[in-house]
């Protein structure tokens, strides 16, 4: 069953809140998502009907196995994007927000490439590769002031 981006948002939010509080309540979710409780109730009932969570009126909500799988996969995409943006020197709060926008609908192939790029940076034999340092400097100053060694980059 194909999930809508907003459904993924809810599942992710429920996952994050449950991690801290054991279950997610309507008001928590409303605050987390920046919407009104009435809207949350409605969506929770829809997600329950799809078997993605356990819903009992007035009790808060817990993800089903299936729901948790979805939430984890969304979160993984989210983190991948956030990490990429971090390397591209996007400020953390903005990276966080923009990852929320991109985490849905991106092609799996794109996500795979982002991951590869991140691993390329992380696992480089010389860890923290020099060119990344150079990009950081370039990003701040607009200058390639790297002198001699630049020949090798």
Partner DNA sequence: TTACAAGTTTAGGCATACCAAAATATTTAT
Partner DNA sequence: ATAAATATTTTGGTATGCCTAAACTTGTAA
Residues 97-126 interacting with its own copies (rule: CB under 8 A) = 97-98, 101-102, 105-107, 109-110, 113-114, 116-117, 120, 123-126
Instruction: Please tell me what DSSP assigns to residue 95.
Output: H
3-class secondary-structure state, position 61:
strand
What minimum distance in Å lies between the beta carbon of 72 and its own copies? 21
127 φ/ψ sector (left φ>0, alpha ψ -120 to 50, else beta): beta
d(CA 119, CA 130): 15
Phi (first) and psi of residue 97, to 5 degrees: -65, -45
69 φ/ψ sector (left φ>0, alpha ψ -120 to 50, else beta): alpha
> Which partner in DNA, its own copies, none is near 37 (CB below 5 to 8 A by kind)?
DNA
Q: Which is nearer to DNA, 9 or 98 (CB)?
A: 9
Binding span for DNA by CB under 7 A among 22-30, 95-103, 116-124, 138-146: 22-30
Binding span for DNA by CB under 7 A among 34-42, 62-70, 106-114, 115-123: 34-42
Q: Which is nearer to its own copies, 69 or 144 (CB)?
A: 144
Q: Where are the alpha helices (DSSP H) in 22-107?
A: 26-33, 37-49, 65-87, 92-102
In the complex, which residues of this chain contact its own copies (CB under 8 A)?
85, 88-91, 94-95, 97-98, 101-102, 105-107, 109-110, 113-114, 116-117, 120, 123-126, 129-131, 134-135, 138-139, 144, 146, 149-153
């Amino acid at each position: 069953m194909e999930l809508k981006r907003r459904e993924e948002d809810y599942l992710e939010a429920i996952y994050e809140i449950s991690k801290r509080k054991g279950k997610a309540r309507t008001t928590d979710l409303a605050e987390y998502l920046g919407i009104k409780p009435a809207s949350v109730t409605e969506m929770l009932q829809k997600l329950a009907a799809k078997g993605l969570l356990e819903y009992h009126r007035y009790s808060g909500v817990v993800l089903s196995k299936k729901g948790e799988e979805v939430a984890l996969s969304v979160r993984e995409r989210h983190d991948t994007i956030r990490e990429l943006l971090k390397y591209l020197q996007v400020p953390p709060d903005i990276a966080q927000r923009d990852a929320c926008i991109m985490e849905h609908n991106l092609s799996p192939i794109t996500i795979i490439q982002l991951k590869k790029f991140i691993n390329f940076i992380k696992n480089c034999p010389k860890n923290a590769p020099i060119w990344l340092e150079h990009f950081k400097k370039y990003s701040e100053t607009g200058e390639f002031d790297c002198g001699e060694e630049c020949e090798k980059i």
